[in-house]
Structure 1
Amino acid sequence: MSILSRLFGGGGKPQARDEASETYKGCRIVAAPQKAEGGHRVGALIEKEIGGEVKVHNLLRADTVGSLDEAEAFSIRKAKQVIDERGDTLFD
């Protein structure tokens, strides 16, 4: 597998668990870190209903964290930061 595909999500499958979700500013955040070499890559699904339609943004970062629990917590924090910075433009 090339370095680019590993960096941008070409390998692991998201590991979403129901208990790793949260609602923040009208968005549903589901932590979905991906297994990666040396730990778990930070990732989350961010969903929001806009105009009667559910919009989804897939957040995937190159950051890796050792344990799945830590990766889920960091994924939620990173998703909140992105929501704060971009607001509804996240779904454009």
Structure 2
Amino acid sequence: MGFLSKLFGFGKEEKQAVSVEPVEYNGYLIYPEPIAEGGQFRIAGRICKTIDGEERTHTFIRSDLLGAKQDAETFMLDKAKMFIDQNGDRMFN
């Protein structure tokens, strides 16, 4: 029965949304959201800002993989800050 359950998707656990605390930087909110991949973590996240009453989001995914989730979060924050400094609101165009 285990094989048939897997085949038809029965008994799958639903993934629960993980709450991420944003880091505020120069009026932007940075959400580090590393992606688990093959025992490592891909550097990823979102950069958000409200402009003229509309929330804008830039998804940030890099090809880098790191062994620890915390390292991927830290690296993402550093890269996102540099990206904000270089591009500002142009990232949303």
Q: What TM-score bracket applies, with the shorter chain setting the length?
A: 0.7 to 0.9
Which secondary structure state, in structure 2, belongs to the residue aligned with residue 63 of structure 1? strand
Q: Which has the higher contact order (CA 8 A, sep 6+)?
A: 1
Residues of 1 paired with 2:25 and 2:48: CA distance?
Answer: 10
- TM-score, length-normalised on structure 1? 0.77
The alignment's C-alpha RMSD in Å is 1.9
**1:18 counterpart SS class:** coil
**What is the Cα deviation at residue 89 of structure 1?**
0.2
Q: How does 1:1-92 map to 2 (within 5 A)?
A: 17-19=19-21, 21-92=22-93
Aligned to 1:8: none
The structure with the larger Rg is: 2
Matched residue count:
78
Superposition misfits of 4+ residues, deviation over 4 angstroms: none
Deviation at 1:16, TM superposition (A): 5.4
Task: Point out where structure 1 has 5 or more consecutive residues left out of the alignment.
Answer: 1-14
Q: 1:78 to 1:43 in 2, by over 3 A?
A: same
**Residues in 2 aligned to 1:78 and 1:88: alpha-carbon distance in whole angstroms:** 16
